[in-house]
Amino acid sequence: MKTMAVINQKGGVGKTTTAVNLGHALARTGRRVMVVDLDPQGHLSPCLGLFRALPQGVDRVLLGEDTLGEHAISTRELMELVPAGNGLGEVERLQGGTERGRLLRQAIDRQPPDVDYLIFDCPPSAGLLVMNALFAVDQALIPVAGDFLSLTGLARLMGTLGRVEALRQRPLERSIFLSRYVARRRLSREVREKILEHFPDHLMETFISEAAVLAECAGAGRTIFEYRARSRSAAEFEALAGELIFKGEHGYAQEASHVA
Ligand SMILES: Nc1ncnc2c1ncn2[C@@H]1O[C@H](COP(=O)(O)OP(=O)(O)O)[C@@H](O)[C@H]1O
Ligand SMILES: [Mg+2]
């Protein structure tokens, strides 16, 4: 099982959009996928067309003894969703020691879900929920929208991820991709060049273009493959899935540095 967290402390960069459309892209290749909403705002469910209230979900896994599988809802062929649940915000306020950051890891170890890809949609924060995701996954998938403020945030995030990797003593793959790319905008290109300069081994080849259709399909509760299967956005999410599958099987450039 491959586990990944879609993470960036900034809101509006495309984390939830990625969890939904990358998740469906992977499921469409025949992989079993589970997407988990770790954001107390709970936007993942409506983006997948579930507009009714879903009072329980991963909150019961983190605050109780439930398993992810017990709260999984089948949403698409080969794609399950674990909603946030009403209590998820409480996790940020838990008191106690370092164990608070390892609740998710422990839950997965207790009962690993029977899927090929487990994807966590993280909140736009750097709190305990995100920490739980980072202790639980193999890979951090970092969408970056093109502006220079996001570069400062990215540098800080990459620092945090390095420290978490050292703490947990297990490699944490870091994969950055441009999530709202506008090719004709010079700033977008400059941000790409800066990322290449500072994190050359971590920038994915695939980028996701800014496209109104991605906002539209989210509002309709459909994935891009259902809403506009022949759009450029659909092709881009297919390519993102393809790149992750390929590198997951053949290794990432930066793995060499883990060995060294
Ligand atoms: N590539 C894109 N092009 C156009 N709109 C996008 C794109 N990615 C995300 N959006 C829209 O921007 C808003 C924020 O995206 P979202 O995925 O919810 O970000 P986050 O989860 O990081 O806060 C949503 O309305 C979403 O539909
Ligand atoms: Mg979100």
Which ligand lies nearest to the CA atom of residue 233 in the structure?
A: 1
218 lines ligand 1 (CB under 6 A): yes
The domain in which residue 240 lies consists of: 2-259
One pLDDT digit (tens) per residue for the chain, 260 residues: 999 999 999 999 999 999 999 999 999 999 999 999 999 999 999 999 999 999 999 999 999 999 999 999 999 999 999 999 999 999 999 998 888 999 999 999 999 999 999 999 999 998 999 999 999 999 999 999 977 778 889 999 999 999 999 999 999 999 999 999 999 999 999 999 999 999 999 999 999 999 999 999 999 999 999 999 999 999 999 999 999 999 999 987 644 444 43
- 155-159, long-range: CB < 8 A, 24+ apart: 155/198, 156/9, 157/7, 157/8, 157/9, 158/199, 158/202
Separation between Cα atoms, residue 9 and residue 30, nearest integer Å: 31
236 lines ligand 1 (CB under 6 A): no
Spacing, Cα 172 to ligand 1 middle (Å):
25
- Helix H or strand E encompassing 227: helix 224-227
49: region left, alpha or beta (phi > 0 left; psi from -120 to 50 alpha): left
Q: CB-hemisphere CA count at 13 Å for 66?
A: 16
CATH of the domain at 169: 3.40.50.300
Question: How many CB atoms are located within 10 Å of the residue 97 CB?
Answer: 7
- Count of domains observed in the chain: 1
Which ligand lies nearest to the CA atom of residue 7 in the structure?
A: 1
- The type of residue at 181 is Y
Position in ligand 1 atom list of the atom nearest CA 217: 27
